[in-house]
Amino acid sequence: MIGWAFCNEAQLRMEGEKVEQDNVTSCLFDGQLYVEVNRGEERRSDILPSKKFFQRTHLYIRGDSHRHRQASAVIIGEVVAPRLQQQDGQLMHPKDIIANMKTMYGIQIMYGKTYQALDYALSLTYGTYEETFQLLPSFGYVLKEKNPGTMTDLQCDEDDKFLYLFMSLCASLRGFWRCLRPVIAIDGTHLKERFGGTMFVATVQVGNEQVYPIVFCYNDSENNLSWEWFLNCLKGALVHIDDLAFIFDRHPSIEAGIYKVFPYATHTICC
């Protein structure tokens, strides 16, 4: 019912108590569209299909107002979900949704609501964040099947919830072994999405002074356990390399992990 009102450029105004019925006794349009609920008779409205009605609900045609009562993030997300992917193959951005709603429905929505609508549309199209975490084991398996020599490792906690993910593509490792100096810079950066966490990365510098990534790791935070786990996975990916050197910042967990996992490697700090 709310979606019908939004797409037909009408706005709902609710009065009376809410009832769990889908019975409608009358539906009149005379400047305003009135819907009345009958508690006793079994009647269904083909115009406004819904399972929840109000004792007295009336719709009014939107005038010059740029605000819409039913333009919630959920409704906007449902509207834009079928056309989330644009003609150029790129996904919609919040600014695209704002322009789309202005052009098609004549309403102005704020950026915050647009971001929530985009998040909801993405969940309808590609699944929720929780569902995508459940696909990580399958993702790792397919990645190794399609890229022989690739290394992945997934670690969960005692409740079988995501904890760490390590990934190193075979092409990156092969390029490091054959062409690059064994001087590795390691660092972490904080993720600011819904579930937070930290991404660890190990990189080297190529001859034209560009960054070449070797391995990635996603985990909960920067601590001794997470850095030690990452460095053990890195050691398994690199196998044995003579004259290996590490560059890192002054984080104590990195230093403790290198002393434990790579005791014979040279290490220094970056400025």
The answer to whether the CB of 156 falls within 8 A of the CB of 118 is no
- pTM for the model stands at 0.66
Domain boundaries, the chain: 2-126, 136-269
- Look at residue 54 in the predicted model and tell me its pLDDT: 38
Residues 6+ apart with CB under 8 A from 74: 117, 120
- Look at residue 112 in the predicted model and tell me its pLDDT: 86
The answer to whether the CB of 250 falls within 8 A of the CB of 188 is no
To which residue do tokens 């935070």 refer?
221
- Look at residue 207 in the predicted model and tell me its pLDDT: 84
- Look at residue 236 in the predicted model and tell me its pLDDT: 92
* DSSP summary character for residue 83: G
- Look at residue 28 in the predicted model and tell me its pLDDT: 37
- What's the token pair of residue 118? 């985009």
- Look at residue 41 in the predicted model and tell me its pLDDT: 39
Any long-range contacts for 146-154 (C-beta under 8 Å, 24+ apart)? 147/171, 149/173, 149/174, 151/233, 151/236, 151/237, 153/233
**pLDDT average per 10 residues of sequence, the chain (271 residues):** 54 45 38 42 39 41 50 82 76 86 80 87 85 88 92 89 91 90 91 85 90 92 92 91 88 91 86 58
Q: What are phi and psi of 161, to 5 degrees?
A: -105, 155
CA distance 35 to 30: 12
CA distance 41 to 64: 38
